[in-house]
Structure 1
Amino acid sequence: MQAFLFDLNGTMVHDMEYHTRAWQRLFNEDLGGSFSWDEVKPQMYGKNREVLVRLFGPDRFSGEEMDRLGMEKERRYQQEFRPQLALLPGLPEFLESAHQRGIRMAIGSAAIPFNIDFVLDNLNIRHYFQAIVSADDVTVSKPHPEVFLRCAELLGVPPAECLVFEDVPKGAEAARNAGMDAVVLTTTHEVAEFDYLPNVRHFAPDFTDAFMRGLVA
């Protein structure tokens, strides 16, 4: 493979629980909802506006209100997650080895730049990535392939030569729709939830196992 494309949340950092908790509290404590954890968790993909529409319908909030609520959720997420902020085990070494081998790398995430910057700059890993595609850079969210095709274009690498790292079925499905294989980090979802995706090459809890090391050997 010529390029590695990384989702961010749940793939590079183990933070999806914090995102889910921040949304659940906002929905229930601020917006008068009564959503259970099991109702909120499956909605943890896509742009913030899309999450709000899926839970509350298209007519509840104006665009300005959704943007304000989304930023409030991100502030709460960052405040709670900051003490735990760290890359998944093995990922620092994986990134350095890929960098030394000349493998091009990009981030393709539904996160807004505010959250991508939070991770990259606090962990000092921005220099590993030749391209970053955020929620602000795409029209259609995963499972549409736009985000990963945009990464490949910016890197100058054919889609078939890109390997995607993801943690949710919709992300691995976006990789399939882009003509890319995927490696799934099992931080967020069970292996069985990916059964319909033939492009998943491997499942791992982090980047320490032999398969991961073999990718950069």
Structure 2
Amino acid sequence: MTSLARVSADADRGAAVLFDVDGVLVDSYATYRRIWDRWALHHSLDPETVWSHTHGRRPIDTIAVVAPNLDTEAEYQVVRDFMADEGDAFPVYPDAPGVLTAIRDRRWGVVTSGRAPTVRQRLRAGGLPDPPVLVDSTQVALGKPDPEGYLRAADLLRTPPERCLVIEDAPAGIEAARAARMTVIALTTTHSAAQLTGAHHITKTLGGAMPRIESWLSTPVP
């Protein structure tokens, strides 16, 4: 059994919190919509169809699904070029600094469909600390909704999956976390509550999730 199937034998029982990035820490919804619409029209694809396959997924996975005839890596570079044109249009949510400051000495990390250098740049630009653990799209063979990324993060934090609380905003991310045997709080920042019913709890904002985060990290080890 690999380390991604279970946490290593020397893991303890401490609780941890794992955050998605886009839609949870970074308010990127409108910007990404512009980028993907531009890419879709660039290839005469239906923007609505393309957009429906982007949430919580790696760009290369989106491209592979909506345009399997195209060179995935080449098109990902096109998407990245469009992203560069957007400059600094990726602000962090107003309550993100307070939440991460409150738990900075606890176990936490991020699991993202983006790439680490870009994610760190956006978090730092918003005054957020570097995550102790950051699992990005290059560290997994399969992106969300596969649980690999969340299981890797649990392994790096030496925390059993069932002791991890995940903060997500997209159905694919919720599915990944549930498959990893983790508890999920969904934020309605990018999807309606009706689209997030796979989560254990649903709230409007990251700040609204803070009481459950504090409770989770304070729960005695069973």
Instruction: Tell me the TM-score range normalised by the shorter chain.
Output: 0.7 to 0.9
**Structure 2 CA distance, aligned partners of 1:111 and 1:51?**
12
The answer on whether the counterparts of 1:4 and 1:162 sit within 8 Å (CA) in structure 2 is yes
Quick one: which amino acid aligns to residue 40 of structure 1? V
Structure 2 counterpart of 1:47: 58
CA distance in 2, matches of 1:144, 1:16: 22
Q: Distance in 2 between matches of 1:214 and 1:133?
A: 23
User: Given the alignment, which residue of 185, 189, 192 partners 1:190?
Assistant: 192
Q: Could you give the per-residue CA deviations for residues 162-181 of structure 1, whole angstroms, max 9, x where no partner exists?
A: 00010000101100000001
TM-score under structure 2 normalisation? 0.82
CA shift, 1:141, in A, is 0.7
| Residue 178 in structure 1 maps to residue 188 in structure 2 | no
1:88 matched to 2:105: no
Give the share of equivalent positions with the same residue, in percent. Answer: 25
1:70 maps to which residue?
A: 79
**Contact conserved, 1:159 with 1:180, CA < 8 A, in 2?**
yes
Q: Which runs of 5+ in 1 are unaligned?
A: none
Distance 1:155 1:181 in 2: 16
TM-score (norm 1): 0.84
| Aligned pairs, number | 201
Q: CA deviation at 1:49?
A: 1.6
Tell me the distance in 2 between the aligned counterparts of 1:176 and 1:121.
29
CA 142–70 in structure 1, closer or farther in 2 if over 3 Å, else same: same
* Higher helix fraction (1 or 2): 1
Contact 2:115 2:138 in 1 (8 A): yes
Give the whole-Å Cα distance in 2 for the aligned partners of 1:152 and 1:181. Answer: 13
Q: State the alpha-carbon separation in 2 of the partners of residues 183 and 53 from structure 1.
A: 29
Q: RMSD across aligned C-alpha pairs, in angstroms?
A: 2.0
- 1:216 matched residue in structure 2: 214
Aligned-partner Cα distance in 1 for 2:176–2:82: 25
In 2, the alpha carbon distance for the partners of 1:88 and 1:162 equals 22
Structure 1 residues 10 and 96 mapped into 2: Cα distance closer, same or farther (>3 Å)?
A: same
Q: Which runs of 5+ in 2 are unaligned?
A: 1-13, 216-222
Q: From the superposition, tell whether residues 136 and 66 of structure 1 become closer, same or farther in structure 2 (CA, over 3 Å).
A: same
Give the 4+ runs in structure 1 shifted more than 3 A.
Answer: none
Paired residues of 2:63 and 2:76 also in contact (CA < 8 A): no
